[in-house]
Amino acid sequence: MKVQAVSGKTLPTEPRELSEVADWFAETDVVVVGLGAAGSCAAIEAADAGAKVMVLEAGSVGGGTTAMAGGQIYFGGGTLLQSECGFEDTLEDMYQFMVKSCGPNGDEEKIRLYVDNNLDHYQWLLDQGMEFKAEYYAEKYTNTPNDEGLICSGNEYAYPYDTIAKPAPRGHKGKAHGEDGGAYLMRTLTAALEKRQVLISYESRALTLIQDDSKRVVGLVVRIDGEERCIKAAQGVILCAGGFIMNDEMVKNHAPRLAKASLPLGNPNDNGVGLRMGQGVGGSLIGMSEGFVALPFYPPSSFVDGIIVNGKGQRVINEDSYQGVVGDLILNAPDEKFYLVIDSRNFEALEKPPLGGFGVAGVGETIEELEEELNMPARSLSHTLEQFNFHAAEGNDPLFHKRKPYLKPLNEAPYAAFDISINSGAYFPVFTFGGLNTQPTGEVLTEDRQVVTGLYAAGRNTCGLPRSGATYSSGFSIGDATFFGRLAGKTAAQNTK
Amino acid sequence: MKVQAVSGKTLPTEPRELSEVADWFAETDVVVVGLGAAGSCAAIEAADAGAKVMVLEAGSVGGGTTAMAGGQIYFGGGTLLQSECGFEDTLEDMYQFMVKSCGPNGDEEKIRLYVDNNLDHYQWLLDQGMEFKAEYYAEKYTNTPNDEGLICSGNEYAYPYDTIAKPAPRGHKGKAHGEDGGAYLMRTLTAALEKRQVLISYESRALTLIQDDSKRVVGLVVRIDGEERCIKAAQGVILCAGGFIMNDEMVKNHAPRLAKASLPLGNPNDNGVGLRMGQGVGGSLIGMSEGFVALPFYPPSSFVDGIIVNGKGQRVINEDSYQGVVGDLILNAPDEKFYLVIDSRNFEALEKPPLGGFGVAGVGETIEELEEELNMPARSLSHTLEQFNFHAAEGNDPLFHKRKPYLKPLNEAPYAAFDISINSGAYFPVFTFGGLNTQPTGEVLTEDRQVVTGLYAAGRNTCGLPRSGATYSSGFSIGDATFFGRLAGKTAAQNTK
């Protein structure tokens, strides 16, 4: 019985010792790894604080995964945009909502800091050139379809969140069409960065960190033009290199549940290299199992009038929940079947494939016929619908508290069911939440909560605000990346050389 | 806005450099950290392979958490005990069952190795002095109540496992009364160890590892008599120091879901120090979010005749599933209510508190009365029972496939419901599964799958066989700890000095 040691499958990230460095290819104060939302904000703030800054980006262009995202940013407590759209909101309601939504291991210190400073952060983005159009989009949708600036991007109005804090829409998207919001944000931030004296080096792949004898991070090794180069960072290195959803082995080891979702959201460089570099010098990776999984079962909004049931015909959720809650619930039972049941009022949807990629599993002239077609036992789905309709007719949903205007009896036969199970063809977009444990300042912590001197992280290289897929709201990720990216940039620039 | 760096809350585990070591308190070939199931087996094998071995145990006595456990070990494929009790089994059925039960990120290489060698391992335990009484205990129970040697300790007979592999009972417990099985195992292993030339140092708390210039682990720092001592381990250090369920911060950071379970199973030294020591030299911690959570809702076996429903009156599981499946399901919805509903045939159970610690939530002359008493909407629980009884009368359970002999109509009014929710007072014993990523040999791997030379781990310091609470069987943990503990001991003893 003999088992061989395996050979490395991913880039080695064991740190290099300063004594091994023959010469410096470049010397600067602060190096930022990755030009996405976190990296651009970190670089701007570090430069504005007087540091000499260099940004290393693995790709040929910047933007990272944020440039591929819809671009919502979570703001509230009374932004100008909220007011212009006629919504009232308070910082305390936003805080209470976020405490619930950031999950059972949420970092209340980071949430507090974010909420209390989010109006200033909103203004800072305006100062960088961002524009928001004062228009609210009221339908259930994955994003605003045009250039509307405001949408409800989470569970604010859904039970039980509506009992925890007064709801308000808080998804803010820059003035860009549909899903171009993230690209617009990154164009804006990159343009703002280019106004500073910052060196951006593209096609520059960070490999590992360099430590001195005292274990302080003093630079890093990077591959440029096929050559390994050492770059000195007198004040520190800020890791902003994205998550690990594109690294199959890391997903299997750390977040096996997420591996069953069909559509990884990210760019090819979301391979976890920043996490591994940080871990290589003692940084602790936390919250690694969690991530965001959605089932975009709306639009159309009218699908929310349907009911979502499992293969046993049992209803499983208030259907007006955010798509992430639904996706997470389905991913928790990957071997179970799930269906979205609609009645004839939504039958025009059968003519064209829904956004979510799911297909029709059955149609029935009666609910009993649909039940049979879905291979459910008699009196399962039919009873569920009877019970739902009875209460819905009175404006109640005693089981799940679905709210008006989506709560109405589903009683206009015929009926149809979409198969929204895992492996059904339905899209389940997914990305990771786990990362380095950091102080709100961006300082990286060891498992023992000691600071790794000279090392900072932000965005998906940290375990930041979003920590629970079941409770997530859109906008948390870019909110976290931009806000704590700025903080990390400021902190690094204040570090003594 | 200023945030201070935190001070260390747990023992620092940054590695010490060899050049910092002034003198060696002791020199040996192999140091084993922790005298539980893994450590004792590692030490025996290392000694038998000719190495000079020293065991460091933080407690005043050995045994670790295994000595507090029921002591089941997962064996199969036709052990002598299975045969004597009249059961047939094959290695292939055992393998297929374990692949499903070790979860979606199960390590098939470790499972294969374990299954293929488990009969030899069984014999090895006999050689160390273990005895098993050839008696099968057929009831549903958390362990054999007396000194019976064999019990079904998992989901072998429950759907869908019974469709994956031919079932057989595989929980083997040494000849000890009830829950004394783990203590008996540890007494046996400790006695076997004491026959070898092995130095066991109690009240010796490992603090951190020592590395030479090439990053090889060459020893460790340990606190003995209040003093820090350095011990040289020419062939390596084997970490067998237990899990982290007693470290609240690590649980919050890595396994927040588990924090809601009420009864951590472990000894006070399950504080994750072995994991942190390993991570300090670059070892990768994987599978950290997972753990075992049970709801011991049986005995009595007759409770399995009841139905388990959520607060919406929906049935949620085949009740003949292993208690771990039920516990995991409830923990996945910590804000939901769950009830075990019984009829009058089980009313004697109302007289004395059940083992699981749960209390009566309601009693009703009819199921409708119980439904109302549990604040469920009309036609929820009552419909569920009607549907269940209809099919059970015909010997079917189309929803969940509960099997005979537990499948019988629940129709002898009055009815009662126990509250088995989280925070209801019901016991939810819990322990962690996550740990260092290792080769089957026990060699510790970095995130990049490079071997950390001179470092080995076994038992709960690794992410071993058990990786999924929803599918776990009792016996996996001690099976894993003893078997891979032995392998780690052998491998370390073969390491060149």
CATH number for the domain spanning B236: value is 3.50.50.60
Extract the tokens encoding B424: 């209801």
Note down pLDDT in tens along chain A; length 497 residues.
444 433 334 455 789 999 999 999 999 999 999 999 999 999 999 999 999 999 999 999 999 999 999 999 999 999 999 999 999 999 999 999 999 999 988 999 999 999 999 999 999 999 999 999 999 999 988 899 999 999 999 999 999 999 999 999 999 999 999 999 999 999 999 999 999 999 999 999 999 999 999 999 999 999 999 999 999 999 999 999 999 999 999 999 999 999 999 899 999 999 999 999 999 999 999 999 999 999 999 989 999 999 999 999 999 999 999 999 999 999 999 999 999 999 999 998 888 878 888 999 999 999 999 999 999 998 999 999 999 999 999 999 999 999 999 999 999 999 999 999 999 999 999 999 999 999 999 999 998 889 999 999 999 999 999 999 999 999 999 999 999 999 999 999 998 87
B13, B288, B335 ranked by CB distance to A448: nearest: B13
| Global pTM value | 0.92
Whether residues B104 and B234 fall in one domain: yes
pLDDT tens, B438-466? 999 999 999 888 999 999 999 999 999 99
- Per the CB < 8 A criterion, the answer to whether A279 and B284 are in contact is yes
Rounded to 5 degrees, φ, ψ at A458 are -155, 170
Task: Out of B371, B396, B419, pick the residue that ends a domain.
Answer: B419
Spell B219-236 as b/e; 16+ CB within 10 A means b: bbbbbbeeeebbbbbbbb
State yes or no: pLDDT of B433 exceeds 90. yes
Listed in sequence order, the DSSP H helices in A221-320 are 248-254, 273-280
- Per the CB < 8 A criterion, the answer to whether A9 and A252 are in contact is no
What's the average model confidence in pLDDT over B81-97?
Answer: 98
Tell how far CA A6 is from the center of its chain.
33
What totals of helices (H) and strands (E) does chain A contain, helices first?
12, 22
A103, A253, A282 ranked by CB distance to B287: nearest: A253
* A1 within domain boundaries: no
What's the average model confidence in pLDDT over B168-191?
Answer: 97
Q: Write the CA distances from A227 to A204, A222, A223, integer angstroms.
A: 10, 8, 5
pLDDT tens, B101-153? 999 889 999 999 999 999 999 999 999 999 999 999 999 888 999 999 999 99
Comparing C-alpha atoms, which of B64, B36, B41 is closest to residue B53? B41
State yes or no: pLDDT of B467 exceeds 50. yes
State yes or no: pLDDT of B430 exceeds 90. yes
The β-bridge relationship of strands A136-137 and A150-151 is parallel
Whether residues B410 and B485 fall in one domain: no
Whether residues A461 and A334 fall in one domain: no
Please classify residue A423 by burial: count the beta carbons closer than 10 Å to its beta carbon, then call 0-12 exposed, 13-18 middle and 19+ buried.
exposed
* Per-residue confidence (pLDDT) for residue B415, from 0 to 100: 97
Q: What is the DSSP letter of B446?
A: B
* A135 within domain boundaries: yes
pLDDT tens, B274-298? 999 999 999 999 999 999 999 999 9
Which residues span the domain enclosing A356? Answer: 301-419
C-alpha distance from A190 to closest chain B C-alpha (Å): 26
* B425 within domain boundaries: no
Record: contact B447-A14, CB cut-off 8 A: no
- Using DSSP's 3-state secondary structure scheme, residue A241 falls into coil
* Per-residue confidence (pLDDT) for residue A12, from 0 to 100: 56
pLDDT tens, B154-164? 999 999 999 99
State yes or no: pLDDT of B238 exceeds 70. yes
Whether residues B281 and B305 fall in one domain: no
Record: contact A282-B14, CB cut-off 8 A: yes
What's the average model confidence in pLDDT over B346-366?
Answer: 89
Record: contact A8-B391, CB cut-off 8 A: no
Report whether the peptide linkage leading into residue A160 is cis, meaning its omega lies within 30 degrees of zero.
yes
Q: Write the CA distances from A314 to A14, A307, A361, A458, B138, integer angstroms.
A: 51, 10, 16, 42, 33
Contacts of A440 in chain B (CB under 8 A): 3
Comparing C-alpha atoms, which of B321, B421, B422 is closest to residue B374? B421
* Per-residue confidence (pLDDT) for residue B356, from 0 to 100: 87
Based on the structure, what is the number of domains in chain A? 2
Rounded to 5 degrees, φ, ψ at B408 are -150, 145
Task: Out of B419, B440, B461, pick the residue that ends a domain.
Answer: B419
Whether residues A19 and A165 fall in one domain: yes
A275, A335, A380 ranked by CB distance to B387: nearest: A380
Please classify residue A496 by burial: count the beta carbons closer than 10 Å to its beta carbon, then call 0-12 exposed, 13-18 middle and 19+ buried.
exposed
* A53 within domain boundaries: yes
* Per-residue confidence (pLDDT) for residue A2, from 0 to 100: 42
Dihedral of alpha carbons B329, B333, B335, B338, sign: negative
CA-CA distance, B95 to B117, in Å (whole number)?
11
What lies within 8 Å, CB to CB, of A156 at 6+ separation is A97, A162, A165, A167, A168, A169, A170, A473
* B129 within domain boundaries: yes
Whether residues A118 and A97 fall in one domain: yes
Extract the tokens encoding B240: 């067998």
Extract the tokens encoding A267: 């760019």
Nearest chain A residue to B255 by CA: give it: A287
C-alpha distance from B276 to closest chain A C-alpha (Å): 7
Tell how far CA B349 is from the center of its chain.
29
* B2 within domain boundaries: no
Contacts of B487 in chain A (CB under 8 A): 1
Nearest chain A residue to B19 by CA: give it: A213
DSSP per-residue codes, B322-357: -HHHHHHHHHTSTTS-EEEEEEGGGGGGGTS--TT-
- Per the CB < 8 A criterion, the answer to whether B224 and B203 are in contact is yes
Whether residues B143 and B71 fall in one domain: yes
Q: Write the CA distances from A289 to A104, A401, A422, B257, B287, integer angstroms.
A: 13, 29, 19, 11, 8
Task: Out of B394, B419, B444, pick the residue that ends a domain.
Answer: B419
* Per-residue confidence (pLDDT) for residue A1, from 0 to 100: 41
Whether residues A324 and A400 fall in one domain: yes
Q: How many CB atoms lie within 10 A of CB A492?
A: 29
Rounded to 5 degrees, φ, ψ at B216 are -75, 140
CA-CA distance, A245 to A260, in Å (whole number)?
12
Contacts of B160 in chain A (CB under 8 A): 335
Whether residues A343 and A274 fall in one domain: no
* Per-residue confidence (pLDDT) for residue A13, from 0 to 100: 78
* A4 within domain boundaries: no
Q: Write the CA distances from B53 to A468, B50, B344, B410, integer angstroms.
A: 45, 9, 60, 60
Whether residues B175 and B259 fall in one domain: yes
Whether residues A99 and A25 fall in one domain: yes
* A3 within domain boundaries: no
Q: Which amino acid is at A480?
A: D
Contacts of A443 in chain B (CB under 8 A): 5
Contacts of B398 in chain A (CB under 8 A): 377
Measured in residues, chain B has a length of 497
Nearest chain B residue to A447 by CA: give it: B276
What lies within 8 Å, CB to CB, of A210 at 6+ separation is A15, A16, A17, A18, A21, A217, A218, A219, A220, A221, A230
State yes or no: pLDDT of B3 exceeds 50. no
Complex ipTM value: 0.89
| Terminal Cα-to-Cα distance of chain B (whole angstroms) | 53
Whether residues B195 and B344 fall in one domain: no
Contacts of B387 in chain A (CB under 8 A): 377, 379-380, 383
* Per-residue confidence (pLDDT) for residue B283, from 0 to 100: 93
State yes or no: pLDDT of B4 exceeds 70. no
pLDDT confidence tier of residue B351, bands split at 50, 70 and 90? confident
A1, A215, A441 ranked by CB distance to B117: nearest: A1
B249, B250, B377 ranked by CB distance to A398: nearest: B377
Extract the tokens encoding B272: 């994750």
What's the average model confidence in pLDDT over B28-52?
Answer: 98
* Per-residue confidence (pLDDT) for residue A11, from 0 to 100: 52
Q: Write the CA distances from B4 to A105, A265, A442, A492, integer angstroms.
A: 21, 34, 11, 14
Record: contact A256-B105, CB cut-off 8 A: yes
Q: Residue A379 belongs to a domain with what CATH number?
A: 3.90.700.10
Record: contact B280-A398, CB cut-off 8 A: no
When scoring B14, B253, B491 by the number of chain A Cβ atoms within 10 A, the one with the most, hence best to mutate, is: B253
Number of A to B CB contacts under 8 A, please give it: 174
